[in-house]
Chains A and B, each alone.
Chain A
Amino acid sequence: MADLLKIEHLKVYYPERAGFFNRIVSYIKAVDDVSLTIEEGKTYGLVGQSGSGKSTIGKTIVGLEDPTAGKIFYKGQDVTTIKQKRKINFNKEVQMVFQDSQSSLNPRKTIGEILAEPLKNFGVPAKIGAGKSENERSFDKEKIDERVLELLDIVGLPERTVSQYPFQFSGGQRQRIVVARALATNPKLIVADEPVSALDLSVQAQVLNFMKKIQKTYGISFLFISHDLGVVRYMTDTIAIMHHGRFVEVGTTEDIFEHPEHIYTKRLLAAIPSQTVAGREAKRAEREANERDFDEKKWAYYEENSAPLRAYGLVQRTGTHFVAVREENE
């Protein structure tokens, strides 16, 4: 599988100011030396608590945040800065979807206008397999209209909805429209930041199924950012667990869920509610054991006396499985 997006040693620091002259006294390390690779047609999951820096990584990829250090490569090309991104029309290829569909759709625009917007900016992509170069794009009004209807069809909404406004749709429909808008320019990668956490179960299922479907049809990759382990397990191929801006464990979905090794991963997994009534007590005992473990053994996994806890660098376990531990421990 070809690598689509590669992040190397990414750091995103925010200065913290204090004192009379508002001088920078320290940095909040939102993302602290993180590397990852997203493969074509695969889903990479980023899991962590709020404030762990998982959203910052997503925003930095699409250019909403500036990296303090590190490099981002797209198909081997350096796209770390906004300038470099512009040069290759990066934002046509990589789109972002946010949690709150209500606020990310302009209430005064019809669905047709919303879907046409990226097409007016980047042009209508040539049909996949039409024999034309993939970079050939049309700004023809008719082509745009045609593509808008095609998108509605992909989302599963009838043609007449083209002139309707966001408030006329249900939460699940709106979230699908948001995904459709991201799809308009045939992107290769969609960064999805908590795309379903505001949705009811049945609506969540609609959106997740839809995302899986378009992945299969168009070979899209996802960076799936979420704090919901159940959803992540269902959606992803590779998972990175984040804590205080660092990766503490990276592996395939199976590595993470079946053979968790980092103390924080175990703690997260123990927090998943018991699926059966019979399992409640066992789950509870597991959690208690975990809490004790965490206090006792944390300095094997985090740099001595760091506050906030700073995880060690990743150590390779198997071909796919990496864990942040102190190396001399071994």
Chain B
Amino acid sequence: MAEKLLEANDVSVDFRINNEYLKAISGINLTINRGKVLALVGESGSGKSTFATSIMGLHNPEYTKVSGSIKVAGKELVGLSEKEFDDYRGVSVGMIFQDPLSSLNPLMKIGDQIAEAITVHDKNNPEVKNRVRTLLNDVGIDEEKRVADQYPHQLSGGMRQRVMIAIALANEPDLIIADEPTTALDAIIQAQILELIKDIQKKKDAGVLLITHNLDVVSELADDVAVMYAGQIVEKGSVEQIFENPKHPYTRSLLKADPNNVRPGEELYSIPGTVPSLAEMDFNKDSFLQRVPWLDEKVVNADVPEQMEEVEPGHFVRGTAWKDFSFDDVNRNED
């Protein structure tokens, strides 16, 4: 039995807006085993970052209610106090963010920003300086002394993201959350950073939660995939299962919208309509079906069972609408 680094059970997050709680994500069940990369895929508004933020405990508690159970390395996070969260963050879990320029303090030297990640948990560590240099080496920066003495604006985008990774690794966490780690980067740098993450993950046998809207990044890096739409997971399975045998209408629509998966000349599939707002979400139904114009209203409005259906070992799909869904029917309602 593999060691479970992340266990999320029935996680929901509610935001208080105008004195009213609105559900943003609901019933999230996810597991990451040691040495595995789980990609959480979805478009903006799907709730994937909301979920990551709740693992880090970075929601403002005055406006947010997190319920269910999130365990990192066996430790329950839901209900922790601010103080307890401060001790846990950066130790058991490290996080890499999307935009490395804005994610670094522009007024602080690189070395000091990495050192802070260590000293905040271990005040009088005499080895900090050496440790910072080792970390910079680990993320592929050779001129560690010079870089430690520089400010963020002096580095290239790829170098900055390496620094962010060094910060996330400072206390050798078992779980790394990478939130759109390459979205702001050019193609060649993206490939380098993805390889670096893979290398580090393998070397430390860590677990990675990769949050992205980019399917290419997923196929490059992930072992398992969970697809999110409108605050819920609609499909999850191994990366092969999801890419080669996608079931849920949303997964299939996304794959058909990716220019990499379409032959030149063939039209991209463009999903009609827009992502529902928090107030419009109905967690008893499959919200995505609203955006499949040719499905029967009965299918669209059917209540969806809480349990996902296991269509093959380890491959889960939400609802049953996928059985009725076919792209052959695209033009049915246009007549």
Contact = CB atoms under 8 A, between A and B. Distances in A.
Contacts of A230: 216, 258-260
Interface string B185-224: 0111111001100000000000000000111110110000
A121 B257 CA distance: 37
B254 A271 contact: no
Contacts of A276: 219, 243-244
B187 A227 contact: yes
Interface residues of A, number: 38
A201 B44 CA distance: 10
Contacts of A283: 220
Given A234-B259, A275-B260, A205 B216 contact: no
B271 interface: yes
Nearest to B272: A206
Interface string A228-256: 11110111000000000000000001000
Contacts of B269: 205
Nearest to B269: A205
A233 B270 contact: no
Contacts of B215: 201
A50 B259 contact: no
A161 to B, nearest CB: 13
Interface string A156-198: 0000000000000011100000000000000000000000000
A99 interface: no
B243 A200 contact: no
A268 B215 CA distance: 18
B262 interface: yes
Interface in B82-133: none
Most chain-A Cβ atoms within 10 A of its Cβ — which of B216, B264, B268? Answer: B268
Contacts of A203: 43
A49 interface: yes
A208 B188 contact: no
A228 B214 CA distance: 12
Given A200-B213, A277-B239, A234 B188 contact: no
B19 interface: no
Interface string A208-236: 11001000000000000001111101110
A46 B163 CA distance: 31
A229 B240 contact: no
A158 B157 CA distance: 41
B270 A209 contact: yes
B333 interface: no
A228 B182 CA distance: 13
B191 A270 contact: yes
Contacts of A227: 186-187
Most chain-A Cβ atoms within 10 A of its Cβ — which of B220, B271, B275? Answer: B220
Contact of A275 (B187, B214, B216): B216
Given A208-B259, A227-B187, A284 B195 contact: yes
A198 B220 CA distance: 21
A19 interface: no
Interface of A: 49-50, 170-172, 200-206, 208-209, 212, 227-231, 233-235, 253, 267-268, 270-277, 280, 283-284, 287
Interface of B: 43-44, 157, 186-191, 194-195, 213-217, 219-220, 239-240, 243-244, 253-254, 257-262, 264, 267-271, 274-275
28 contacts: A50-B186, A171-B44, A200-B44, A201-B213, A201-B215, A201-B254, A202-B254, A203-B43, A205-B259, A205-B270, A205-B271, A208-B259, A208-B268, A209-B267, A209-B268, A209-B270, A227-B187, A228-B187, A233-B259, A234-B262, A234-B264, A268-B188, A270-B191, A273-B217, A273-B219, A275-B260, A276-B244, A277-B239
Given A200-B43, A202-B253, A233-B264, 9 more contacts: A49-B189, A170-B275, A208-B259, A208-B268, A230-B258, A273-B216, A273-B220, A274-B219, A274-B220
